[in-house]
């Protein structure tokens, strides 16, 4: 089958120049919201050209990243087709074990890679999640089906440990960490082995949040401390769990902590509040946004808590936390990172576009989204607690910027610095 060409984006393979005019360009597709992306694929399918479109899209790093991230929004048969095309491509072009994840060294210079890994806040080891929670705030598709090869993660941590020690990325996103478990293609490695790379080469103990409540070995691992663990946490997500089960779980966790002896550590349980009230996964974040009533008057928060870079088996992205909206239903602006350029950032630009050609500073953003109401009780509603305009620090090729951004990602003001952090003097306006 001939592959259609896309106007921009990172080409992974040579594509034919014909068959171009009927499909939206990469640039235009990346501008779409997830709902619009899904609608666009329906229209392509109605033309009978879905397979042709997807064949081309998976050869374009940005489109592969975009469609994979929003796969849960697609029709089931479209998801299936996309997955089968990706699998076929992986067989034809297997990734090289001596490379970095996604073979990033072929797309970015050494300095650019240092900048990227310095600001990386999350590394998603697997694509898809075995848990498949109905109201997953990250729209994980059900079933772990792809992983970043261990050898590539080892290359990453060995070479860029210093940079990664700055952002201390946790090792999951739309995924369950324990899904990275020994099986064919995983070189007999598990999540624990990847965790050890972070401890050994980057000197930090990654925080973990897990929903794997059944596996005792995993529980034992969660209960044991690693070096430099002062700022790391171990949390089990127990949303919706009934009190008697929770009591049992706490007993098992205590037994694991005791077994670990001096290296035992605290395990937290997230879901029930100190008052004993329980939360379920909150409907209305991610795909379920479409099913909820209007929330325009109260800004709602997603579960994303970091700005910066996200690496997954399907793409590398910039993230910036904002309230949940139709445009950003997970409460995070997310764009595939395509390149790092010296194109200036200007007032009036949109951050989503800028994030395709720059690196967003890695930082925690709007922590503690659950609020108490006036009566001192935790609110059911996950209210957004950040304020706007919010500052984004944006690194380009030779300059960086402090940009003040509104909740729709519009850049309101820009403060430019050179590579040494020296502020650009604004030209004085001379008025008559």
Compare residues 165 and 190 and give the one whose CB is closer to ligand SF4.
Answer: 190
* Binder among 6, 73, 127, 138 for ligand SF4 (CB under 6 A): 138
Shortest reach from residue 280's CB to ligand SF4, in Å: 11
Binding segment toward ligand SF4, per CB under 6 A, in 111-119, 130-138, 320-328, 334-342:
130-138
Is residue 211 part of the contact set for ligand SF4 (CB under 6 A)? yes
The CB-of-338 to ligand SF4 minimum distance in angstroms stands at 26
Nearer to ligand SF4, 175 or 361 (CB): 175
Q: Count residues near ligand SF4 (CB under 6 A).
A: 11
> Taking CB under 6 A as the rule, does residue 133 contact ligand SF4?
yes
**Binding range to ligand SF4, per CB under 6 A, among 98-106, 161-169, 173-181, 395-403:** 173-181
- Return the number of the residue (158 or 214) whose C-beta is nearest ligand SF4: 214
Peptide bond into 389 cis (omega under 30): yes
Query: Could you tell me the smallest distance in angstroms from the CB atom of residue 9 to ligand SF4?
Result: 27
Contact call for residue 144 and ligand SF4 (CB under 6 A): no
Q: Look up tokens 């997310």; give the residue.
A: 334
Among 12, 20, 89, 132, binds ligand SF4 (CB under 6 A): 132
Whole-angstrom distance, CA of residue 316 vs CA of residue 31: 17
Q: Which stretch binds ligand SF4 (CB under 6 A): 32-40, 153-161, 172-180, 196-204?
A: 172-180
CB of 69 to ligand SF4, least distance (A): 13
On whether the CB atoms of residues 57 and 15 are closer than 8 A, the answer is no
Neighbouring C-beta atoms of residue 180, cutoff 10 Å: 26
Under rule CB under 6 A, residue 20 binds ligand SF4: no
143 lies in the site for ligand SF4, by CB under 6 A: no
> Which of 54, 213 has the CB closer to ligand SF4?
213
The nearest distance, CB 389 to ligand SF4, in angstroms, is 30
Which of 29-37, 136-144, 195-203, 382-390 is the region at the interface with ligand SF4 (rule: CB under 6 A)? 136-144
Please state, in angstroms and rounded to a whole number, the distance separating the CA atoms of residues 94 and 132: 27
Nearer to ligand SF4, 142 or 252 (CB): 142
Minimal distance, residue 279 CB to ligand SF4, in Å = 13
Tokens of 330: 């997970």
Smallest distance from the beta carbon of 26 to ligand SF4, in angstroms? 27
Paired strand residues for 287: none
- The contact set with ligand SF4 (CB under 6 A) reads 129, 131-133, 136, 138, 140, 174-176, 211
């Amino acid at each position: 089958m001939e592959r259609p060409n896309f106007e921009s984006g990172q080409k992974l393979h040579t594509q034919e120049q014909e068959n171009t005019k009927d499909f939206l360009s990469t640039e235009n597709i990346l501008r779409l919201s997830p709902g619009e992306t899904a609608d666009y694929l329906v229209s392509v399918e109605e033309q009978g050209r879905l397979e042709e479109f997807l064949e081309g899209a998976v050869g374009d790093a940005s489109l592969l990243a975009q469609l994979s991230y929003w796969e849960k929004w697609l029709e089931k048969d479209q998801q299936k087709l996309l997955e089968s095309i990706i699998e076929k491509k992986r067989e034809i072009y297997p990734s090289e074990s001596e490379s970095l994840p996604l073979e990033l060294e072929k797309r970015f210079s050494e300095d650019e890679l240092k900048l990227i890994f310095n600001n990386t806040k999350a590394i998603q080891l697997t694509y898809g999640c075995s848990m498949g929670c109905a109201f997953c705030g990250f729209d994980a598709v059900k079933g772990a089906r792809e992983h970043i090869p261990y050898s590539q993660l080892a290359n990453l941590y060995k070479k860029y440990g210093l940079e990664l020690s700055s952002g201390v990325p946790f090792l999951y996103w739309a995924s369950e960490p324990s899904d990275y478990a020994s099986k064919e293609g995983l070189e007999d490695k598990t999540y624990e082995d990847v965790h050890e790379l972070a401890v050994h080469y980057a000197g930090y103990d990654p925080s973990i949040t897990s929903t794997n409540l059944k596996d005792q070995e995993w529980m034992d691992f969660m209960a044991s401390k690693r070096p430099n663990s002062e700022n790391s946490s171990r949390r089990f997500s127990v949303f919706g769990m009934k009190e008697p089960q929770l009591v049992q779980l706490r007993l098992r966790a205590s037994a694991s902590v005791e077994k670990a002896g001096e290296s035992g550590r605290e395990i937290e349980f997230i879901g029930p509040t100190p008052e004993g009230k329980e939360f379920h996964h909150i409907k209305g974040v991610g795909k379920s946004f479409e099913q909820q009533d209007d929330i325009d008057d109260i800004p709602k928060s997603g579960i994303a808590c970091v700005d910066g870079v996200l690496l997954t088996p399907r793409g590398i992205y910039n993230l910036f936390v904002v309230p949940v909206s139709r445009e950003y239903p997970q409460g995070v602006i997310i764009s595939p990172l395509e390149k790092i350029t010296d194109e200036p950032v200007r007032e009036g630009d949109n951050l989503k576009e800028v994030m395709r050609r720059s690196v967003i500073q890695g930082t925690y953003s709007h922590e503690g989204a659950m609020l108490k109401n006036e009566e001192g009780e935790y609110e059911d509603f996950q209210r957004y607690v950040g304020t706007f305009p919010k500052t984004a620090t944006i690194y380009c090729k030779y300059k960086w910027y402090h940009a003040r951004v509104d909740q729709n990602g519009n850049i309101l003001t820009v403060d430019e610095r050179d590579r040494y952090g020296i502020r650009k003097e604004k030209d004085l306006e001379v008025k008559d």
